[in-house]
Amino acid sequence: MAISFEIVFFGVFAGIAVILAIMMLSVKSPVHAALCLVGVMIMLAILYLMLHAYFLSVVQIVVYAGAVMVLFLFVIMFFYSPGASDPSRMSVHFTHIAGAIILAVILLAVITGSFLLSGNVSLTEKPSAAQMTDIEKPIAETSEAPLTEETSRMIEKQNPQLVGRMLFTKYLLPFELTSLLLLAAMVGAVVLARRSPPAEAGSAGGDGND
């Protein structure tokens, strides 16, 4: 059977994401590491598109790859001149290699296990929908199954109108909680990063302030 386009796309973008993630740990310059992380995030945004999460895909690029990583780059520039290599970067220890091998083995076992578990439902005959657990259902369209009008409508309904609607109705409480969270983060960042306490409080306090 022919390999579908989707798996090729998936393979390319997922592969780039994984390679960039590994590069993030291995490149010398912290700026390059941050750029690798941006790359991973953009690749993931493309995977979100393939998963029909259009709104999230945009948010991922705008907020994550855009705002958050720019913040990272600013701070990295604050510490290092561009192109400088991080003197404290990972030195290759025996324990690190051993740890990597152990982690890789565990990961491989989990992945293989999950694939094989999903595979032994039935390989000879087409399982009925009832036989498959939800996790095993193929999610991508193949040439045999074009999108019906209804399914495309459902998908469209889900994004981003539905996300927005849920966020402001059923999940209003967590959403409002994030406003407190962001406020606290902002205040906290200002408190910690300011060079010295305000003069007024300093004079009131006297000792102990730099």
Per CB under 8 A, contacts with other proteins among 63-122 are 63-64, 67-68, 71-72, 75-76, 78-79, 86, 88-90, 93, 96, 99-100, 103-104, 106-107, 110-112, 114-119
Tell whether residue 18 is a contact of other proteins (CB under 8 A).
Answer: yes
Tell whether residue 12 is a contact of other proteins (CB under 8 A).
Answer: no
CA distance 210 to 208: 7
Size of the site for other proteins (CB under 8 A): 129
Q: How far is the CB of 55 from other proteins (least distance, A)?
A: 7
**Contacts with other proteins, 28-57, as mask; x by CB under 8 A:** --x--xx--x--xx--x--xx--xxx-xx-
Burial of 40 (0-12, 13-18, 19+ CB in 10 A): buried
In the complex with other proteins, the residue whose CB is nearer, 78 or 83, is 78
Applying CB under 8 A, which of residues 12, 84, 98, 162 lies at the interface with other proteins? Answer: 162
Contact 174, 38 (CB under 8 A): no
| H helix count then E strand count, the chain | 9, 0
Q: How far is the CB of 81 from other proteins (least distance, A)?
A: 14
- Long-range pairs for 161-167 at CB < 8 Å and ≥24 separation? 163/55, 163/56, 164/55
CA distance 23 to 37: 9
In the complex with other proteins, the residue whose CB is nearer, 82 or 182, is 182
3-state secondary structure (DSSP) of residue 199: helix
Contact 48, 63 (CB under 8 A): no
**Which one-letter amino acid corresponds to residue 10?**
F
**Which one-letter amino acid corresponds to residue 182?**
L
In the complex with other proteins, the residue whose CB is nearer, 81 or 93, is 93
Q: How far is the CB of 170 from other proteins (least distance, A)?
A: 6
Residues 166-205 that bind other proteins (CB under 8 A): 166-174, 177-178, 180-193, 195-198, 200-202, 204-205
In the complex with other proteins, the residue whose CB is nearer, 82 or 151, is 151
Q: How far is the CB of 84 from other proteins (least distance, A)?
A: 12
Tell whether residue 58 is a contact of other proteins (CB under 8 A).
Answer: no
CA distance 113 to 16: 24
